[in-house]
């Protein structure tokens, strides 16, 4: 037994147009998502008390928020041609 922690980063593609790409960074604790960054929303959203607390802190930190916002360009859009060719 013990605790389960998981983080998952995703690029979601709705079309071949680069404007249709969405970056999602999710954090889980004991199999329940507690906080998520969504590039469409542009900020963190908390789903539990702890997640809301972290979302407020992380959204007020320009460094953390700027890094997450940049992931759409650095990861998703840069690798889109590879995903589309598969």
Question: Which pLDDT value is given to residue 1?
Answer: 65
Residues 1-60 have pLDDT tens digits of 678 999 999 999 877 777 788 999 999 999 899 999 999 999 999 999 999 999 999 999
Q: Which fold has domain 5-85?
A: 3.10.320
Question: Which pLDDT value is given to residue 80?
Answer: 82
- Supply the pTM of this predicted model: 0.84
Q: Looking at per-residue confidence, does 53 or 73 come out higher? A: 53
CA distance 68 to 82: 22
- What 3-state DSSP class applies to 81? helix
């Amino acid at each position: 037994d013990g605790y389960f922690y998981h983080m998952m980063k995703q690029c979601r593609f709705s079309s071949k147009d680069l404007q249709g790409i969405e970056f999602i960074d999710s954090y889980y604790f004991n199999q329940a998502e507690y906080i998520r960054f969504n590039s469409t929303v542009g900020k963190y959203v908390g789903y539990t008390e702890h997640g809301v607390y972290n979302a407020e802190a992380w959204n007020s930190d320009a460094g953390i928020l700027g890094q997450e916002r940049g992931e759409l360009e650095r990861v998703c859009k840069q690798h889109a041609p590879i995903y589309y060719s598969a």
